[in-house]
């Protein structure tokens, strides 16, 4: 059984993240979405909230599970038996960062491969940080995140 890990902070999950998870779920027998617990990063949602938002977003994908983790991503991948890391690429700057991380990860865990999926055109511009800013300024994001995330963002921002 081929298992892959799709790691990220997902603060919050976007339709771009969901697109990558959906497409990866068709490539692998099992996909684990790893929600990274990053205490040093300024996050809007707690790890538990991000896990719950993601679980609801991928509930329709029967071969996808969601787990929080901390520490090195490749160590978590090995712990859960994942043979591949899945990453989404939006633009050339994403490629440069992912390439750098891939080389380091290959040194740390030679048995874990990197699979990069190009973002769909509809989501090339989309980022969680941009969504939070647009929402806080009253912008409409209904086409960019699952409906339950719109509600969670508005509640968190007290809108």
pLDDT in tens, 126-143: 889 899 999 999 999 999
Does the active-site annotation cover 17?
yes
At residue 109, the pLDDT reads 95
Does the active-site annotation cover 97?
no
Query: Cβ atoms within 10 A of the Cβ of 62, count?
Result: 8
Does the active-site annotation cover 158?
no
154 pLDDT above the threshold of 80 = yes
At residue 19, the pLDDT reads 97
pLDDT in tens, 22-71: 999 999 999 999 999 987 778 999 999 999 999 999 999 999 999 999 99
Catalytic residue among 25, 50, 119, 128: 128
Question: Is residue 131 classed exposed, middle or buried when 0-12, 13-18 and 19+ CB atoms within 10 A define those classes?
Answer: buried
Angle at 96 between CA 94 and CA 97, to 5 degrees: 65
At residue 2, the pLDDT reads 94
Look over the chain and give the mean of its residue pLDDT values, rounded to a whole number.
Answer: 93
Catalytic residue among 83, 90, 106, 148: 90
Question: Is residue 137 classed exposed, middle or buried when 0-12, 13-18 and 19+ CB atoms within 10 A define those classes?
Answer: exposed
Angle, helices 15-27/47-57, rounded to nearest 10 degrees: 60
Radius of gyration of the chain, Cα coordinates, nearest whole angstrom: 15
pTM of the complete model beyond 0.85: yes
Catalytic residue among 17, 50, 87, 132: 17
Alpha-carbon distances, residue 120 vs 47, 67, 70, 123, 126 (angstroms): 27, 25, 29, 6, 10
Does the active-site annotation cover 56?
no
73 pLDDT above the threshold of 90 = yes
Residue 9, helix vs strand vs coil: coil
Say if CB 101 and CB 70 are below 8 A apart: no
At residue 98, the pLDDT reads 87
What domains can you pick out in the chain, each with its CATH number? Answer: 3-124 (3.40.50.620)
145 pLDDT above the threshold of 90 = yes
84 pLDDT above the threshold of 90 = yes
pLDDT in tens, 88-128: 998 777 788 888 989 999 999 999 999 999 999 999 888 89
């Amino acid at each position: 059984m081929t298992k892959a890990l799709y790691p990220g902070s997902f603060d919050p999950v976007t339709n771009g993240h969901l697109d990558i998870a959906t497409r990866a779920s068709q490539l692998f027998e099992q996909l684990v979405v790893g929600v990274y617990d990053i205490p040093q990063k300024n996050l809007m949602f707690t790890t538990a909230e991000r896990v719950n938002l993601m679980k609801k977003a991928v509930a329709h994908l029967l071969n996808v599970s969601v787990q929080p983790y901390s520490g090195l991503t490749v160590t978590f991948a090995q712990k859960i038996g994942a043979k591949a890391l899945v990453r989404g690429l939006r633009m050339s700057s994403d490629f440069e960062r992912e390439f750098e991380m891939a080389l380091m990860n290959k040194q740390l865990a030679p048995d874990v491969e990197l699979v990069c999926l190009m973002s769909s055109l509809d989501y090339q511009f989309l980022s969680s940080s941009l969504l939070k800013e647009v929402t806080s300024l009253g912008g409409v994001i209904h086409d960019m995140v699952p409906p339950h995330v719109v509600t969670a963002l508005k509640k968190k921002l007290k809108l």
